[in-house]
Structure 1
Amino acid sequence: MDINRVVIIILDSAGIGATPDAALFGDVGCHTLGNIAQAVGGLKVPNMEAMGLGNIAIMEGVKPQLKPTAAFGKMEEVSAGKDTTAGHWELAGIHLTQPFPMYPNGFPPEVMDAFVTQTGRGFLGNYPASGTVIIEELGEEHLETGKLIVYTSGDSVFQIAAHEEIVPIEELYKYCKIAREILRGKHEVSRVIARPFIGEPGNFTRTANRHDYSVVPPEATVLDNLKDAGLMVLGIGKINDI
């Protein structure tokens, strides 16, 4: 059979069960799709249902198929860690044996002191948080002081949130590039992420001007090989940044 086009669609955060090492990340018993299906009284995904989604795991509203229209299954990640970059790289043929560093207690002084010195701005936060929650918690102080909101998450990320009227987009991107250069060696997080927002206290909204600054892959990916072979490779969304 001749194949002249391959399309990979990634449903971000749509997990379908825990892996054997889930306890290392506080994710024992996780099943995002199953839990969402239960919470909303059943999923309605007729195309994926026909392809065999319900044959992979039990979930409300999605029936298993006797004759699915596609091959189906689930894969277990072999790379160390669970962050976005490691998972996407593995899909593209790179196997990481060491996880990217995580910062459950925030980033150390050696990182933050360099960040303040090189950006010329102070910071707020520096702890793991939901992006929407932390801008509600610290957004007003950010407006008053101009200090950047820095936070991390369950991924290996250094995120910088700033109001677009206080810190112009290009300036925020510049700060992210500075952070990317600081975060090398033992502190090389997988991504530095610009998280701009707008609005007023009590009604802040993140904008579409997010930008990810990922670590460069340590070796060629399948996508590189395809491109080198003269084939067209297109990435839509944050894939290009990762």
Structure 2
Amino acid sequence: MKRSIIIVLDSVGIGEMPDACNYGDAGSNTLHNIAEAVGGLELPNLESLGLGNIYRIKGVHAQSNPKGCYGKMAEASRGKDTTSGHWEMAGVILENALPTFPQGFPQEFIARYEKAIGRGVLGNEVASGTEIIQRLGEEHLRTGKPIVYTSADSVFQVAAHEEVVPLPELMHFCKLAREMLTGDLQVGRVIARPFLGQVGEFYRTSHRHDFALEPPRKTLLEYISEQGLAVNAVGKIRDIYAGKGITDFCSTKSNMDGVDNTLAYMTKTNVGLIMTNLVDFDMVYGHRNNVEGYVQALKDFDQRLPELVALLRPEDLLVITADHGCDPTFPGTDHTREYVPLLVYGQSVKHGVNLGVRSTFADLGATVAEYLGLDPLPVGKSFLAEIRND
């Protein structure tokens, strides 16, 4: 009757990786820099698990005997996006980075795409999603042309006002893009970005949907579900893994909605995996350089952590981590190439084990696989023997 609960704090990085300079991210450190910007963080519950033992975070103190095991993980895959980070956690390391388009997508492709959807498009540039809808939203209302844009990540994003392009039609546009983006254009995700509002006051809605590339190899989620165990996905987890290996899922409207749904699964799922992505850290605050909002989101999660701990059963394994960084104090609005925190807790887990610096996110997947009694994954080194309280 074993369960593992993995909670991914989307973008909550904990310091630049050695190759961060290759990505223009030297000096990035999401948690540390946020704490410095506001004079310190108060995260007592994460602190008690050992967050302050991983790295210096102003206001978050190292514990002499934290309740959890702690460390940080390096990304072995090329890149710094959601797809590569989550896939690596589940045992798929990408040797080649997914393609990005700093000059926009090739005009030949855009022409074919316009023909396929039956209308022209606006944009086709690297942009902040909140900025581009303000800048091109009025023209979009007038012409009905969807707004296409990308970022430093491997994404093709399509934004449209819900009263101009109804949601089913926008989803159709994105499905077509997913089918057309092949070969050298095979981005990690096609993202529907619906919005509402009036000129000068446009805002994105919660109806975002990701059309992800299927993982090139079998992931931890598939290995688990093939054994007849539950794999419950909360938030955009289902999208990231293109539904592969997932037995049940729910979308979320916010971080706190994500916590609520995680708690709901914990009350009804007996064995297997519950995996949650809390996207607001990244989407709402990191990409918008909103330091104060990011701080509040961290506090909000910290305050809910005792609820999660209270529902843990004696054999449960709780893991709190991230998929990349998105330092809101850093120039630009893109993800940052960072280590991610690793906190592990459970009644059958030792206290205060320093897991050090893991060479790949895949160590997490290898550990969960061993914990659930599966055969070893092709990549990753399990740390279960280090933390198990036999």
Give the TM bin, normalised by the shorter chain: over 0.9
CA deviations 1:24-66 (Å, max 9, x no partner) are 2111110011111122222121111111111111111111111
When the two structures are superposed, what TM-score results if normalisation uses the length of structure 2? 0.61
CA deviations 1:123-146 (Å, max 9, x no partner) are 111111111111111111110111
When the two structures are superposed, what TM-score results if normalisation uses the length of structure 1? 0.97
Is 1:100 matched up with 2:129?
no
Is 1:172 matched up with 2:166?
no
Is 1:221 matched up with 2:219?
yes
1:203 counterpart SS class: coil
Q: CA RMSD, aligned part only?
A: 0.9
- Of stretches 161-170 and 13-22 in structure 1, the one that deviates more from structure 2 is 13-22
1:72 counterpart SS class: strand
Q: Which residue does the alignment assign to 1:57?
A: 55
In structure 2, C-alpha distance between the alignment counterparts of 1:205 and 1:188, rounded to whole Å: 29
Q: Which residue does the alignment assign to 1:34?
A: 32
Q: Which residue does the alignment assign to 1:152?
A: 150
Aligned pair partner of 1:8 in 6, 9, 20: 6
C-alpha displacement of 1:219 = 1.2
In structure 2, C-alpha distance between the alignment counterparts of 1:69 and 1:14, rounded to whole Å: 21
In structure 2, C-alpha distance between the alignment counterparts of 1:44 and 1:112, rounded to whole Å: 48
1:110 counterpart SS class: helix
In structure 1, C-alpha distance between the alignment counterparts of 2:180 and 2:15, rounded to whole Å: 36
Q: Which residue does the alignment assign to 1:69?
A: 67
Q: Percent identity?
A: 56
In structure 1, C-alpha distance between the alignment counterparts of 2:138 and 2:22, rounded to whole Å: 36
In structure 1, C-alpha distance between the alignment counterparts of 2:87 and 2:236, rounded to whole Å: 13
Is 1:129 matched up with 2:127?
yes
In structure 2, C-alpha distance between the alignment counterparts of 1:226 and 1:182, rounded to whole Å: 31
1:8 counterpart SS class: strand
Runs of 4+ in 1 over 6 A off after TM superposition: none
In structure 2, C-alpha distance between the alignment counterparts of 1:61 and 1:122, rounded to whole Å: 51
CA deviations 1:135-189 (Å, max 9, x no partner) are 1111111101111101101210000000000000010000000111111111000
C-alpha displacement of 1:190 = 0.2
Q: How many residue pairs align between the two structures? A: 240
CA deviations 1:198-237 (Å, max 9, x no partner) are 0001111100100000001111111100100011010000
2:65 counterpart SS class: coil
Equivalent residue runs for 1:175-186 within 5 Å: 175-186=173-184
1:195 counterpart SS class: strand
Structure 1's unaligned 5+ residue stretches are: none
- 2:217 partner letter: E
2:160 counterpart SS class: strand
Q: Which residue does the alignment assign to 1:202?
A: 200
2:197 counterpart SS class: strand
1:63 counterpart SS class: coil
Structure with larger RCO (C-alpha < 8 A, sep 6+) = 2
